[in-house]
Amino acid sequence: METKAIKPYVVGMDIGGTNTVFGIVDKDGNVLCQDSIKTKAYPVIEDYVNAIGDKLDVLIESVGGKDKINGMGVGAPNGNYYTGNIEFAPNLAWKGIVPLAKLFTERLGIPCKLTNDANAAAIGEMTYGAAKGMKHFIMITLGTGVGSGIVIDGKLVYGHDGFAGELGHITAVPDGRICGCGRKGCLEAYCSATGIVRTAKEILTSSYDASMLRNIPEAELTSKDIFDCAMAGDAIACDIFQKTGELLGKALANFTVFSSPEAFIIFGGLAKAGDLIFKPVKEAMEANMLAVFKNKVKVLPSMLKDADAAVLGASALGWEV
């Protein structure tokens, strides 16, 4: 990415429903230092901004102070690139419209830009990861929610209002589960980390089959537990991944007809399940694919570790300020 920036570093920050990760990034895309906080621990937005501000003050000082920072980029659920606001994010504690970019600019004295968290991950993947050199791809992030970043002709699609690409909120199951957004049957309600736990609880409640998952208190069950049990050969845990992958694969077949991507890049915790999720996803995608697109679209895991894709992608906005 060509920049006119004269200052050597930017701040990149990824806001997830569970964790917020932030760091200092140089022009070569190296994350020099980073820290994190629990997003849900700060239901008051001002407390959240101050908690991060205190930690960023230390990181910024460690690279030479604010004079070395060109800007800050943030990836956030329902982050609007045009306004700098988080708007009606279903998986965050702060309701309504939150002027996040303005709050961080005021707290840190550094210009700040904001985009959707999945868009930030897509920028990171395109610049440093599995989508390097691709001009047409769709990033799917499987975390607390399901996000997406759509790239066409090498450019992110924002739409007229900044909210294009909310593919996690297509209706995957008509009249299905209530989603955090308030609608029924969204893909996010099934294929996110929280969605896969809901699937597990439904199956365990509706059957009496033996499963290692029954040894875990229902309130404590996580997607990692389901993965661990599946890896140990537990039939119910494997079935949960099969059902989740089939639903996601069908959705990818539908997304393909919109922009004919070269690949879907899968990022986030569930992507680490490897063949447990990728095998049913690919099979269901091809089984439901319009003939003209069959065997043309790759499904690839992210090549960037953990939060780096989103942190790096968001940091790219810091060069634009």
Query: What is the full DSSP assignment across 216-251?
Result: S-GGG--HHHHHHHHHTT-HHHHHHHHHHHHHHHHH
Compute φ and ψ for 267, nearest 5 degrees.
-130, 145
Whether pTM exceeds 0.75: yes
What pLDDT, on the 0 to 100 scale, is given for residue 198?
97
The mean predicted confidence, pLDDT, of the chain is 93
List pLDDT tens digits, range 213-227. 999 999 999 999 999
List pLDDT tens digits, range 158-187. 999 988 989 999 999 999 999 988 999 999
Task: Give me the mean pLDDT over the 123-130 stretch.
Answer: 86
Task: Give me the mean pLDDT over the 32-43 stretch.
Answer: 95
Kindly tell me the number of DSSP H helices and DSSP E strands found in the chain. 9, 12
Q: Residue 241: how many CA atoms within 13 Å on its side-chain side?
A: 26
124: Cβ–Cβ under 8 A, 6 or more apart, which residues? Answer: 304, 308, 309, 310, 311, 312, 313, 314, 316
Helix (H) or strand (E) run with residue 205 in it? helix 193-206
Tokens encoding 200: 């597990």
What pLDDT, on the 0 to 100 scale, is given for residue 3?
44
List pLDDT tens digits, range 86-122. 999 888 999 999 999 999 999 999 999 999 888 988 9
What pLDDT, on the 0 to 100 scale, is given for residue 300?
96
Per DSSP, 263 falls in state E
Tell me the torsion sign for CA atoms 58, 63, 65, 66: negative
Tokens encoding 207: 């059957």
Where would I find the beta strands (DSSP E) of 7-89? 9-15, 19-26, 31-38, 69-76, 86-87
10 Å CB burial of residue 144 (0-12, 13-18, 19+) is buried
Answer yes or no: are the C-beta atoms of 119 and 112 closer than 8 Å.
no
